[in-house]
């Protein structure tokens, strides 16, 4: 009984309190009432592709719309071949054809929320990895109409996380608020990244754990992530994100 009480207290402190605090802040925050009123234009983060000759890769994330934006973000992938005149953006969305290419500006606001760059690769390494990214995108199993579920997945973050696991040279995992990232494709309960350096176990995105050089040590409960990052010292707080130490 004491053990159960301690577990409940830990759950309250580590998971529920940050989520409720974030929800309270989000509730009073000025934000668009619906998608029609939201800003979807470029945030001006990326330079003009024509002025950047080298190949580049960027992983973006931004808080999503509605009250779910209090605890969840939306991720996407941007690539540019060497000497290309434009970027390519890949998202998974919940309407129409799920995996979209260039539906929005590469660095666009998402529901008026400013995006942040989670990771970037440039030069020869980016040129080497872009074909691998495109191969992983083509192999994503939930790319047909209707193959989207906002929670626990497969959603936009499930898609990007699939690519990151398939191309571990990108060297990053999605932020803790990327709800759906831990849902493994095709109903798998266990997965190992392509280079064997990170492992993931999950009960359909509802309860799970990840461990490895990129993930650190994470515990996932109902899509909320708490954990520590050892290689890049930080703590991961549900609904709030990654805080470097």
- DSSP, residue by residue, 102-141: SSS-TTB-BTTBPPEEEEEEETHHHHHHHHHHHHHHHT-S
Residues 13-31 as b or e (16 or more Cβ within 10 Å = b): ebbeebbeebeeebeeeeb
pLDDT of residue 242: 87
pLDDT of residue 192: 96
pLDDT of residue 168: 97
pLDDT of residue 24: 85
Domain segments of the chain as ranges: 2-244
Average pLDDT per block of 10 residues along the chain, 245 residues long: 65 74 81 88 97 98 92 97 98 87 98 97 98 97 92 96 97 94 94 96 96 95 92 89 81
């Amino acid at each position: 009984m004491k053990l159960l009480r301690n577990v409940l207290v830990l759950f309250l402190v580590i998971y529920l309190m940050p989520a409720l605090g974030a929800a309270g802040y989000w509730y009073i925050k000025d934000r668009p009432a619906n998608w029609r009123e939201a800003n979807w234009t470029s945030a001006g983060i990326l330079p003009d592709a024509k002025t950047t000759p080298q190949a580049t890769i960027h992983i973006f994330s931004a808080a999503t719309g509605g009250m779910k934006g209090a605890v969840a973000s939306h991720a996407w992938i941007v690539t540019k071949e060497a000497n290309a005149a434009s970027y390519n953006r890949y998202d998974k969305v919940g309407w129409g054809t799920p995996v979209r290419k260039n539906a929005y500006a590469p660095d666009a606001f998402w529901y008026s929320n400013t995006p942040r760059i989670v990771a970037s690769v440039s030069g020869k390494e980016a040129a080497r990895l872009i074909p691998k990214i495109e191969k992983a995108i083509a192999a994503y199993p939930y790319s047909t109409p209707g193959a989207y579920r906002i929670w626990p997945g497969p959603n936009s973050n499930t898609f990007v996380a699939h690519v990151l696991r398939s191309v571990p040279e990108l060297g990053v995992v999605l932020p803790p608020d990327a709800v759906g990232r831990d849902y493994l494709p095709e109903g798998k309960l266990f997965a190992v990244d392509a280079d064997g350096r990170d492992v993931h176990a999950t009960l359909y995105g509802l309860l799970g754990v990840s461990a490895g050089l990129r993930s650190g040590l994470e515990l996932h409960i109902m899509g909320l992530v708490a954990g520590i990052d050892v290689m890049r010292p930080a703590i991961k707080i549900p609904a709030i994100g990654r805080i470097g130490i």
